Structure 1
Amino acid sequence: MSDSETTDDRTPGEGEVYCRDCGEIISEKAEICPECGVRQQSASTSADDIIEVLTNGENPFVAAVYSAILPGLGQFYNREPAKGAAIVVASFVAVLSMLALVGFVLYPAVWLYAVYDAYVVADGREPPLGS
């Protein structure tokens, strides 16, 4: 056997792995196989990164969307549970007041305030409404 035949049968050493596509032995830190050009490591955006963005309380767009879905939810996202609970209660009262036809004006006002406040607080600015 020649030396070239024995190198094809070797196993990866410390810090080496097989390429996912061509099977060549490459460095475990290689992002792209030098033999076939196939990416070895996943892209930097992972499910964990997405979950962190959705739960860390720093993205104003996410806070606004949460409050648009359920008024007060964006405040909980911003780590303001007292304000979030107050807005949830105000929304509930506004929905109940729709029976007296007052809620048709009150609920949209509460909803708009919740979305606005969630966005502004997550963006790092104090809302001018004195909240």
Structure 2
Amino acid sequence: MGSPAQEPNSSEKYLSGENDTEEETIEGEEDGSVPSEESTYSGPESKQKAADEQFCSSCGEIIKREASICPNCGVSQGGNANNNPGLAAILSGAGFVVPIAAGAGQIYNENVGKGVAFCLIQAIHIMVVVFLWWTIIPLLTYPAVQAYATYDAYKGAQ
């Protein structure tokens, strides 16, 4: 009379490749392999949005196109859809004549910090020209900074 065959324990089953419980298998492909990154990615490309919606620039959630701040993550969506790029450029361009207006386009675009910085930089340029009239550097950098301020205001309103 022989003894009954012993059942292998769970570690022996694992080492031999036997797997009789479903909870030990990895969900994914039919053969139990791990799904590829492409099949598990659920980024903005896989979400459906309506015509009046857009994706948040930070978290990728679908939000209303008019939203300036994402209700999910709280990040500002940047672009000012209601601002006129031409008007922003004209406002900053006025800084060529009136230096204190150098950042007016940025302020119009609700980027007050950058607007104030452009105004201060151009005011400093004028003071350097007045008090250090013999130096040519501010005469070269003033139009360069002003051209950039105008370009930045235009692009910021788009």
TM-score (norm 1): 0.49
Larger Rg: 2
* Structure in which a larger fraction of residues adopt helix: 1
TM-score (norm 2): 0.41
